Amino acid sequence: MTRVGIIRCAAYSEKCAGYKCFPALRERTGPFAEYEDELLLIGFDTCGGCSRNEMGKIVDRAVRLRDRGAEVIHLGNCLVSACPWAQVFRDAIIKETGVPVALRTHP
């Protein structure tokens, strides 16, 4: 079983409650199709709000997901497509937590 954490855009979370993320995880579509074993969602959090290239908030949330058992963290489509620092955040999370980070949550 692979334990998954999802981090999404805080601003976008006001409009979306994971309407595409959860079905993709449940139905194993998009990036979740690559996993061979069962998936368990550990947590669904936000980035913490726009921080202008500050890593602290998103890394803190990734640490919480890791400490609760996440073995991989997915950055939601909303964060990946809208945030100019998504790749920087991905790299910081990997460096600070040791947890692999996948970009996107649904097709």
Cα distance between residue 98 and residue 66, in whole Å: 9
pTM across the whole model: 0.96
How distant is the alpha carbon of residue 24 from its chain centre? 13
pLDDT(80) > 70: yes
pLDDT of residue 53: 66
CA torsion, points 87, 89, 94, 99, in degrees to nearest 10? -110
pLDDT of residue 33: 97
DSSP class of residue 55 equals -
pLDDT(54) > 90: no
- Domain around 54: 2-103
Count structural domains, the chain: 1
CATH code of the domain in which 97 resides: 3.40.50.1860
Give Cβ neighbours of residue 3 (< 8 Å, ≥ 6 apart).
40, 42, 69, 70, 71, 72
Rounded to an integer, the average pLDDT of 58-77 is: 98
Helix, coil or strand: residue 45: strand
